[in-house]
Amino acid sequence: MATEMQIQPMTREEVDLAIEWAAREGWNPGLSDAQAFHAADPEGLLIGRIAGEPVAICSAVRHGETFGFIGCYIVAPHLRGRGYGLQIWKVAMQRLQGRCIGLDGVIEQQHNYARSGFNLAYRQVRYAGRVQAAGLTGSAQGTPSIQSDRLPSSVVSELGAVPVSDWLRYDRACFPSERRPYIEAWVRQPGTVALASLREGKLAGYGAIRPARQGYKIGPLFAEDSAVAAQLLDGLQARVTEGSELFIDIPLCNEQAVQLVEQRGMKPVFETARMYTGGAPNLNTQAQFGVTSFELG
């Protein structure tokens, strides 16, 4: 029987430890993700200790009034298989009781999440490529942005030039709840570039790119169609160093998103599944060309 852990919310400094553990798992977190994770819900990242030693971590973040997200679910490698993960999992689920709960489950754990009441909504895949002056490279070096003669042109600007209420409203259509503390801190991380696309003066999409432990990560990337998504993707990758690795997480149910990155030679490197308790929220998944993060949604 596992020794009972002391489980409590992480301090801001302890969130840095969670990011370090995520990096060791190969999840490649952003360099400044800890600040945004803590801002999302200061009591939502849990740590379990035995005799002062960190044993397990798990996020149970409350977004808005009705949604919660579980992530960063890690047990110290030398202590796995002893029941510590289950202990912190139960506390995390209890904290989000009464809400719709989402998570991004790795392949080997999806059956366990299903036993806990989570249902598969769709698969998600991380794609990787490299940046060159002409664009993302691979088998399709320099592929031009997708264009449509049937749609009016759009103009890219800094996200900071758009009223916050406008892009928060746009974000809400692509996420199960309002998440202002999280997403505002997210797009303002050090080194992050956030862009908006305006079509006839109306917000048609937005996206962000941030430095990670390895290369750069794009997310979120939300857009009303593939032409806008391509414009934002090209604008974001143009803001980072040539030759850098680039990563983006895509819901496979959005076929246009998959086509967009594969045309640029990006390749799948990692897979998760978006799962929810109960039914999946009614979201515009066709506007989701890049997930914000696998850790907090």
3-class secondary structure per residue, 63-124: ECCCEEEEEEEEECHHHCCCCHHHHHHHHHHHHCCCCEEEEEEEHHHHHHHHHCCEEEEEEE
CA atoms of 218 and 196, how far apart (whole Å): 14
Indicate the pLDDT class of residue 136, thresholds 50, 70 and 90. low
Task: Flag whether pLDDT at 150 surpasses 80.
Answer: no
Q: What is the pLDDT of residues 52-107, one digit of tens each?
A: 999 999 999 999 999 999 999 999 999 999 999 999 999 999 999 999 999 999 88
Pairing type for strands 193-199 and 53-63 reads unpaired
Q: What is the pLDDT of residues 192-226, one digit of tens each?
A: 999 999 998 899 999 999 999 999 999 999 999 99
What is the predicted pLDDT for the residue at 4? 87
Q: Where in the chain are all domains bearing CATH 3.40.630.30? A: 6-120
C-alpha pair distances (Å), 9 with each of 15, 16, 203, 214: 10, 13, 37, 28
pTM: 0.90
Of all residues in the chain, what percent carry a pLDDT higher than 70? 92
Quick check: 148 pLDDT over 50? no
Read off the pLDDT of each residue in 224-245 and give the average, rounded to a whole number: 93
1 pLDDT tier (thresholds 50, 70, 90): low
Higher pLDDT, 2 or 244: 244
Cα separation, 73 vs 123, whole angstroms: 19
- pLDDT on residue 56: 97
Confidence of residue 3 (pLDDT cuts 50, 70, 90): confident
Write the pLDDT tens digit of every residue in 257-266. Answer: 999 999 999 9
pLDDT at 229: 96
- C-alpha count within 13 angstroms, C-beta hemisphere, residue 155: 6
Percent of the chain with pLDDT over 90: 83
Judge whether residue 146 has pLDDT over 50: no
* Region(s) of the chain under CATH 3.40.630.90: 124-290
Of the candidates 68, 77, 24, 79, the one whose C-alpha atom is nearest the C-alpha of residue 46 is: 68
Type of residue at 179: R
User: What mean pLDDT comes out for the span 141-168?
Assistant: 69
Give the pLDDT band (50/70/90) at residue 149.
Answer: very low
pLDDT of residue 95: 98
Task: Return the pLDDT at 137.
Answer: 45
In whole numbers, what is the pLDDT of the chain averaged over residues?
91
Q: What is the CATH number of domain 124-290?
A: 3.40.630.90
Average pLDDT of span 241-268: 95
Q: What is the pLDDT of residue 142?
A: 34
What pLDDT score does 154 carry? 81
List % helix, strand, coil for the chain (3-state, nearest 5): 30, 35, 35
CATH code of 6-120, in short, is: 3.40.630.30
